[in-house]
Amino acid sequence: MTEAVYAAKCTTCGAVSYAKHLICPKCRGEAFQPVAIKGEGTVLSYTDVYALAIDYDVRFLRLAIVELDGGLRVTGQLLDADPKLGKRVRTTVGVVRETGGKATHGLQFMPA
Amino acid sequence: MRPVYIVGAGMTRFGRSDFSLVDLAGTAGLAALHHAALSKVPVDAVVVANMGGSRINRQTALGSALVDRLALYPAAAEAVENGPASGASAAKIGFQAIGSGMADVVLVVGVEMMRAVDGLEGTDFVASLSHPEVEYIYGVTLPSLAGLFTRLYMDRYGVERKHLAMVAIKNHEHAMHNPYAHIHQPITMEGILTSPEAVVNNPPVADPLCLFDCCPVSDGAAAVVLASKEIADRLGGARVRIAGIGQATDTHAVHEREDPTELRAVRLASQKAFAMAEAKPGDVDVVELHDAFTILEIAESEAAGFFKRGEARKAIERGETRFGGHLPINVSGGLKARGHPVGATGVAQLVELVWQLRGEATGRQVEKAKVAYACNFGGFGNNVIATVLRKEER
């Protein structure tokens, strides 16, 4: 997989954020560098959602918020048949949405 | 800041409408003007709250359209879009206009026609308020944000599915006495949770949330007339003052919140509103909360300061939040059963509270109500407006 998903690291205070800000919410710094999101973490919460947005031809989507080792929190798709709060998962990158033939890559979580 | 009064309130029945968007808004606006006995007095400004007209109804510039429908020219007019908090935003803008002295009479109308599109398009339209780059791309919808929030809240604060069901049953029961409510359907614990049929009646939407934890998709409009003290003094009837408004924002992506179970914007907006009103949560007699999902009634009632964290479920078990209880919440039926035409909701909350404070909520009147509170919850808690109303004796 050549695609990667990036968080932004504030070059002033080092805070890492998975959501773009032009001003750092922690220190007001204005310079950032991209850092690829990878590694393992734990499931903070998850849900099976049946009320789907357009673009999804599935019965439900399993979504999760994961707290990565190091503290960064991210939202993504949980590819785990037996989800549990606090369960260890590892991040991968895959196609998370396809709109009119155009694929969007994003974070997916597998059992660690 | 000059004092600001709500001198008239009206709404359409929520549900499914065959009206046009502008007719729906106009019907509510006319009802509020009639209620205020002000239909012959010049309106200085019109503020329309609406979230999806440009996308789902292909109509823009609703402020101008409503002025024309009600022949209120040359009133100032605009439409505001602030997601599901558009209604309270519009009321706040009216409040500022009168408070600053720029206007003496302002008509505030919230309107939404969500059933003009199918369920998938409707869900996607609301989902477009989520973070575009780190939430929406994953298939995040509002129910999914609520499901993620609920699982964590249940784990941390001992909330069980029965508490969620109690909120739904209560609000459905309340709506039975509100002729303007979308849903007139009593539900029972057996029917939605404990019987073998419950899984069929009440399928999952974003687990642990099920169908009866979620508000319906509604069309509807609601309106209030705001006026300066000079105008309010000329009118009869009980006088309702906007005693305080507070607004606060939070991170767009829910995962960025230090504690994703804390509705910080609800807490901060409520504190600001109570400070402006020189009131405290204990003074409040009747409450409208933004229960788009049952968990939100529980979590907002704690964040607004009515209960400590983790205590709301106990108050629900004791029946304190029911009509006749010590702190009745969502006597209107709430979003759960009155319905949730998103742009209209924040105004509909104020309509209910005005009726309650004026003693006009026939069939569901909270006795001796003097102080009222509303929470209009935008985004998934990233833009919240709290309003405190107070009845003033003449």
Mean pLDDT in consecutive groups of 10 residues from the start of chain B, 394 residues:
96 96 98 86 94 96 98 97 98 98 98 94 94 97 98 97 98 98 98 96 97 98 97 85 98 97 98 98 98 98 98 98 98 98 98 97 97 97 98 87
B214 touches chain A (CB under 8 A): yes
Strand A73-78 to A32-36 pairing: unpaired
Note whether B207 and A48 are within 8 A (CB). yes
Partner-chain contact A45 B137, CB within 8 Å: no
Residues 6 or more apart whose Cβ sits within 8 Å of residue A53: B120, B123, B124, B127, B136, B139, B140, B141
Residues of chain B neighbouring A61 (CB-CB closer than 8 A) = 138-139, 144
User: What are the angstrom distances between the C-alpha of B327 and each of B246, B335, B339, B388?
Assistant: 21, 18, 21, 15
Quickly count: other Cβ atoms within 10 Å of residue A71's Cβ: 9
| CA-based nearest residue in chain B for residue A105 | B137
B138–A49 CB contact, under 8 Å: no
Residue A1 lies in a domain: no
**Strands of the B4-11 sheet, one edge to the other:** B76-80, B45-49, B105-113, B219-228, B4-11, B239-249, B383-392, B371-378, B286-288
Cis preceding-peptide flag for B208 (omega within 30 of 0): yes
Please name the residues in contact with B288: beta carbons below 8 A apart, sequence gap of 6 or more. B329, B330, B332, B334, B349, B352, B353, B372, B373, B374, B375
Q: Which is nearest to B172 in space by CA: B146, B211, B222?
A: B211
For chain A, how many structural domains are there in total?
A: 1
Residues facing A6 on adjacent strands = A36
What residues in A contact B144, CB-CB < 8 Å? 47, 49, 51, 61, 63
Q: Is residue B174 situated within a structural domain?
A: no
Tell me which residue in A17, A44, A53 faces B152 most closely, judged by beta carbons: A44
Cβ within 8 Å of residue B211, ≥6 positions away: B201, B202, B203, B204, B205
CA distance A34 to chain B (A): 15
B89 falls within a domain? yes
Residue among A54, A65, A97 whose CB faces B137 most closely: A97
CA A90 to chain B, closest CA, distance in angstroms equals: 17
Domain with A50 in it: 6-111
Q: Inspect the interface and report whether the beta carbons of B151 and A47 lie closer than 8 Å.
A: yes
Name the residue with tokens 């369960």. A87
Q: Does B121 touch chain A (CB under 8 A)?
A: yes
Of B139, B205, B208, the CB nearest to A56: B139
Q: Is the pLDDT score of A1 beyond 60?
A: no
Closest CA to B364 of B170, B182, B187: B170
- In sequence order, the 6+-apart residues with CB closer than 8 A to the CB of B18 are none
Nearest CA in chain A to B257: A73
Q: Does the beta-carbon distance from A97 to B140 stay under 8 Å? A: no
Across the interface, whether the CB atoms of A47 and B255 are under 8 A apart is answered no
Q: What is the CATH number of the domain that holds A68?
A: 2.40.50.840
Three-state DSSP state, B23: helix
* Domain ranges, residue B100: 4-118+221-234
B138: contact with A, CB 8 A cutoff? yes
Structural domain contains residue A82 = yes
Quick check: is A88 in a domain?
yes
Report if residue A99 sits inside a domain.
yes
Cβ–Cβ gap B254/A75 under 8 Å: yes
The maximal CA–CA distance of chain B, rounded, in angstroms, is 61
The CATH number covering residue B42 comes to: 3.40.47.10
Q: Where do we find the tokens 């968080």? A: A7
The torsion angles phi and psi of B157, rounded to 5 degrees, stand at -120, 15
- For residues B99 and B89, is the Cβ–Cβ distance under 8 A? no
Coil, strand or helix at B283: helix
Which residues of chain A are within 8 Å of residue B152 when distances are taken between CB atoms?
44-45, 85
CB of B118 less than 8 A from some CB of A: no
Give A25's strand partners.
none
Q: Which of B358, B391, B386, B371 is nearest to B91 (CA)?
A: B386
Specify the pairing of strand A73-78 against strand A61-68. Answer: antiparallel
Residue B147, chain A, CB below 8 Å: the answer is yes
In a domain, residue A90? The reply is yes
CB contact under 8 A, B205 and A50: yes
- Mean pLDDT score of chain A: 96
Locate A19 and state its tokens: 């959501």
Pairwise CB contact (< 8 Å): B121 & A54: yes
Report the residue of chain A nearest B154, measured CA to CA. A45
| Exposed/middle/buried for residue B100 (C-beta within 10 Å: 0-12, 13-18, 19+) | exposed
Our CA-based measurement puts residue A87 at a distance from the nearest CA of chain B, in whole angstroms, of 14
**Which of A46, A56, A65, A87 is the best residue to mutate to test the B interface, defined by the most B CB atoms within 10 Å of its own CB?**
A65
Nearest beta carbon to residue B138 from set A46, A50, A75:
A75
Q: Is residue A32 part of a domain?
A: yes
Helix (H, G, I), strand (E, B) or coil at B261: coil
Residue B120 to chain A, least CA–CA distance (Å): 6
Q: Count the domains in chain B.
A: 1
Question: Which of B56, B137, B159, B202 best tests the A interface by mutation, with the highest count of A CBs <10 A?
Answer: B137
Give how far Cα B346 sits from Cα of A22, A101, B239, B330, Å.
Answer: 31, 39, 20, 13
Residue B208 domain-assigned (yes or no)? no
Q: Is residue A87 part of a domain?
A: yes
Q: Which residues contact B212 (CB under 8 A, 6 or more apart)?
A: B165, B168, B187, B192, B201, B202, B294
CA of B129 to nearest chain A CA: how many angstroms apart? 12
What pLDDT is stored for residue A2 in this prediction?
Answer: 60
What's the CA gap between A79 and B313, in Å, rounded? 33
Contact A85 B139 (CB under 8 A): no
* Cross-sheet strand order for the sheet of A32-36: A16-17, A6-10, A32-36
What single DSSP character describes residue B12?
A: P
Say if B55 falls within a structural domain. yes
Q: Do A75 and B141 touch (CB under 8 A)?
A: no
Q: What DSSP state is assigned to residue B214?
A: B
Query: Which positions in chain A touch B134 (Cβ < 8 Å)?
Result: 18-19, 74-75
Q: Which helix (H) or strand (E) holds B343?
A: helix B342-358
Look at residue A69 and tell me if it is in a domain.
Answer: yes
**To the nearest 10°, the Cα dihedral for B136, B139, B141, B145?**
-90
